[in-house]
Amino acid sequence: MSISQLAREIKESPTLALNEKARILREKGDPVIHLGSGEPKSKVPIDAILNCASKLQSADIRYTPTEGIPALIKAVIRYTEDNYAKTVGPENVLVSNGAKHSIYNVLMTILNPQDEVIVCAPYWVSYPEIIKMMYGVPVIVKPEDGRFQPRIQDIIENVGSYTKAIIINSPNNPSGAVYSQDFIAEIVEYCEKKGLYLIMDDIYHKLVFDNVEVPSVFKYAKDKSEASKLIIINGVSKMYAMTGFRIGWTIANARIIEAMINVQAQNMSCPSVILQTAAAGALLGVQSSVESLRVTLQNNRDVMMTELDSFNGIHTIKPQGTFYCLPDFTAYSKDSVALSKFILEKAMVVTVPGKEFGMEAHLRLSYCGTIKEIVEGIARIKWALDPESPNEIYIGDRKLRRDWK
């Protein structure tokens, strides 16, 4: 069968593949613990559900304007004012099917074939693949000191005549790092000076711990004109635990949004009116669920850190946001794909190999589940890897015997 060269080169999403694997194992009755998950488990805010239900009850479910329904656009404008201290108008907003779709639309709108996009490792798995889907070239910049904070100097060294854009994701998936204010100030200044697009993927920006401040990029932007190349991506998936609603948005100058609307109109017309109505409900309704999720995740992070601290040979940089951490497992294996597979087979714990995020010898562990899952998940991994652990362990009601070194 003839499949396009492009489609053949696009990798399967490793995180979605792992979700599917965990689901199949659970269905088979295996007591799998999923430390690879990328979605909070809290309930969707009630205002989202009520809005959505009343829209459904109206039985008037139609196409919407491509850019989104006015109520949601207004809610996004208010959100941007409240959280970024930035006034934008409806011409600066485009609602899409999740933040992933927003990023896809942005890259389709700004990239020409062979244009390069700088991506800082560790990075979200989808960036390189989406860039490649636009016939662009991802240029991965790895922090040399093995830490998770990018350095402006490393980025500058990788910028060339084909560079079109830089993507920044802070709080960061997979490391949980929040980039320093100094770095954000430097990158904004640098992109403005060089005329580069700066794409800020802020999908986790409210899920931060220990009173750390996530600065608004607009604070550092000198170019307040309609020619600004600053692009913000956000959405309801993570902060409102609304991953299944698939609503994200882009904030950018009117020229970019206008072009993006044409791109979106020809690839999916508009996001579903039911889901947009729900997202408007979440944004305009009572906000206590966001803070409650944040506090739960901070507590989960602390439990995860305590468990990892007592794990011989593992080195973890404490996350300041998101619901992931990225411990260094070099002491056990330099091959994160093989290690993740081994842990799943022997201990029935799902982890995501660091290789997928450009950080070999690490594993991404999520702490968005329950405390029990975190504690038991780490105990099982420890049992499978640490030669000093007891020979036998109970997983559910199964007794497992350690017959490997």
Ligand X SMILES: Cc1ncc(COP(=O)(O)O)c(C=O)c1O
CA–CA distance, 330 with 313 (Å, rounded to integer): 8
Distance of CA 219 to the CA centre of its chain: 23
The SS3 of residue 77 is helix
Name the minimum Å distance from CB 12 to ligand X: 15
Residue whose C-beta lies closest to ligand X: 98
Alpha helices, DSSP H only, in 92-140?
A: 99-110, 126-133
DSSP designation for 229? -
CB nearer ligand X, residue 256 or residue 275: 275
CB nearer ligand X, residue 150 or residue 380: 150
Binding site for ligand X (CB under 6 A): 38, 98-100, 124, 169, 173, 201, 203, 235, 237, 243, 248
CB nearer ligand X, residue 197 or residue 383: 197
Name the minimum Å distance from CB 94 to ligand X: 14
CB nearer ligand X, residue 247 or residue 273: 247
Name the minimum Å distance from CB 375 to ligand X: 24
Please give the single-letter amino acid code of residue 274. I
Name the minimum Å distance from CB 60 to ligand X: 26
| Site of tokens 């080169």 | 9
Tokens representing 394 are 């109970």
CB nearer ligand X, residue 33 or residue 103: 103
CB nearer ligand X, residue 141 or residue 203: 203
CB atoms within 10 A of CB 112: 10
Please give the single-letter amino acid code of residue 325. C
Tokens representing 398 are 């199964």
Name the minimum Å distance from CB 395 to ligand X: 28
At 118, which helix (H) or strand (E)?
A: strand 116-120
Name the minimum Å distance from CB 171 to ligand X: 9
Transcribe 248-286 into DSSP letters. EEEE--HHHHHHHHHHHHHHTSS--HHHHHHHHHHHHS-
